[in-house]
Amino acid sequence: MIASISVLHVGADAPQASDSRFGRCVWRLCPTLDMAQAALAESTPEAILISCVDEAEARTLPYWAAWTQAVLAAAVVVRTPKPSRELMLSLLRAGVQDVLPSEQSDDESIGRSLCLAIERKRQEQELRRAWSIDLATGLPNRVQLMELLHQLCALREREPAPMALLVIRVEGLATTEARLGVAAAQALRRKLAVRLRSGLRASDVVSALAPDAFAVVLTRLEAPEDGDRVALKLSQMLREPFMVSAQTAVVTVSTGLAVYPSDGRQPEEMLKMALSAAAARRGLGRQGFADRKERGAAPVANDD
């Protein structure tokens, strides 16, 4: 019996067939990224196939508001005409499992790519579970974050008090990598982690959630609305320029907040709500501007 694979397809050029020797694809078709974002808020597929018209469109994918949610939840495959080596490596670093040339994407090739992508994602998740620290930043990773949330939720059942999970999605790492190189982008990510940690209490926890996202656990709030105040404070801190490789780097941020118990009593539902909220909000940055244009000179923090 052929196994079924749930696949969310994004783009106009949807595959026609459902069956291959690698599995039966059960498609959900979303012509636009906005529609795909709404679909991800409803349910999580095993794989996401994104069909791009050209390399320029493929390069913009990491800027999609729901990108973090997509690469965390599913095996993502990108299909684009004649992808360059640089594009493929960039997308792989951003969380994609495979990049498929449109010219070679017959039904059999698509089925094979999706099947292997799902298996790579499964192995990646198992490997992550074997480690508790994000090696690039030294922060707890997603696995340790979820373990902590399970413990805190159990504590809050016994000792009721509001707490919150804040997801912070950062846009600007891919731009820094393209402009200054991979090492500079990694240095910027470390500086982001340092600045986040400096703005919190010792009892709060910062976690590396994804290559372009952090999570903050506010272990206890005096009032539920305090979570919004902390989110605003951290967003303002991260919008201040950084110095990386003797160059000024700026980022935009979008935040999503889930407060216990009003927004959920289980870690999984709190994380899903916070991720969806971060994806739904347009990034704020560049000294308060949400676009990607520079605003000119501004004070720079080194954050060593």
Does residue 253 carry a pLDDT above 90?
yes
228 or 12, greater pLDDT? 228
Does residue 190 carry a pLDDT above 60?
yes
Q: Which of 68-82, 125-139, 158-172 has the lowest mean pLDDT?
A: 125-139
Cα distance between residue 204 and residue 259, in whole Å: 14
- Please compute the mean of the pLDDT values over residues 236-257 and round it to a whole number: 94
Joined tokens for residue 54: 């050209």
* Domain 4-129: top CATH class: alpha beta
* Domain 142-285: top CATH class: alpha beta
pLDDT recorded at residue 302: 53
Residue-averaged pLDDT of the chain: 87
Contact criterion met (CB below 8 Å) for 221 and 238: no
- The β-bridge partners of 215 are 167, 207
Domain edges within the chain: 4-129, 142-285
Contact criterion met (CB below 8 Å) for 90 and 201: no
Question: Among all chains, which residue has been given the structure tokens 């404070």?
Answer: 233
Contact criterion met (CB below 8 Å) for 170 and 251: yes
Q: 76-130 pLDDT, tens per residue?
A: 999 999 999 999 999 999 999 999 999 877 888 888 999 999 999 999 888 776 6
Cβ neighbors of 234 (< 8 A, separation 6 or more) are 166, 168, 196, 199, 200, 216, 255
Confidence of residue 290 (pLDDT cuts 50, 70, 90): very low
Confidence of residue 17 (pLDDT cuts 50, 70, 90): low
Sheet holding 163-171: strands in order across?
A: 205-210, 213-218, 163-171, 252-260, 284-285
- Please compute the mean of the pLDDT values over residues 1-15 and round it to a whole number: 83
Does residue 136 carry a pLDDT above 90?
no
Q: Does a cis peptide bond (omega within 30 degrees of 0) precede residue 261?
A: yes
DSSP H helical ranges for the chain: 33-42, 55-59, 67-73, 85-93, 107-129, 142-158, 173-180, 182-198, 226-239, 267-280
pLDDT recorded at residue 289: 31
- The β-bridge partners of 163 are 260
Does residue 292 carry a pLDDT above 70?
no
- pTM given for the model: 0.71
Confidence of residue 303 (pLDDT cuts 50, 70, 90): low
Does residue 293 carry a pLDDT above 70?
no
pLDDT recorded at residue 121: 93
- Please compute the mean of the pLDDT values over residues 157-184 and round it to a whole number: 92
